[in-house]
Amino acid sequence: MVSIIVMAVFGGLCGLGVLAVMALIAKNGKHQFDRVEFASDQDVYALAQAWAGRNGYALKRSEGDLRVYQKGNGFLTAPMFLEIDRPDGRWSFKSYVRVNGLVVQGDVGLSGDGFLVKVPRSMAKKAQNELYASLDLAPLK
């Protein structure tokens, strides 16, 4: 019985260690987010709000022209983000997935390659490309 408890604690600590290493890799990575800038006469905020409702994203923050949408809370999968901003009259989308290593957090762009948070990146990319298509933007690859 003691060996089972010791192994469970050891496994849990190893899992936390791997998560922390992944967060450090993401934090120091070269591709921390995808940014797309474009001009549009459409009401992008209204399109984004409708898109968010269909895809399970929630508006987490709204400050001036900035809107931050998030899906997931990091419990079963890494949280996915879409930031919409309109500096200087041009629209800007910033997309990423956050790796939370408890002590360290790092962001990974959706179109990056590699093993880090591959499933959440794929899920977010599929959902966000739906919004991109409604605005006639090239999809994230």
The residue type at 20: A
State the Cα–Cα distance between residues 78 and 97, nearest whole angstrom. 6
The per-residue pLDDT for 25 is: 56
Flag whether 26 is in a domain: yes
Flag whether 140 is in a domain: no
Flag whether 97 is in a domain: yes
Flag whether 29 is in a domain: yes
- pLDDT tens digits, one per residue of 82-114: 999 998 889 999 999 998 866 777 888 898 776
Collect all residues with Cβ–Cβ distance below 8 Å to 43 and sequence separation of at least 6: none
What CATH number should be reported for the domain holding residue 91?
Answer: 3.30.530
Residue 107's domain comprises 2-134
pTM: 0.80
The per-residue pLDDT for 126 is: 95
State the Cα–Cα distance between residues 58 and 38, nearest whole angstrom. 23
Flag whether 24 is in a domain: yes
The total domain count for the chain is 1
Flag whether 10 is in a domain: yes
- Across the 141 residues of the chain, what is the mean pLDDT of every consecutive 10-residue run? 73 58 56 89 94 96 95 83 92 92 79 77 93 94 85
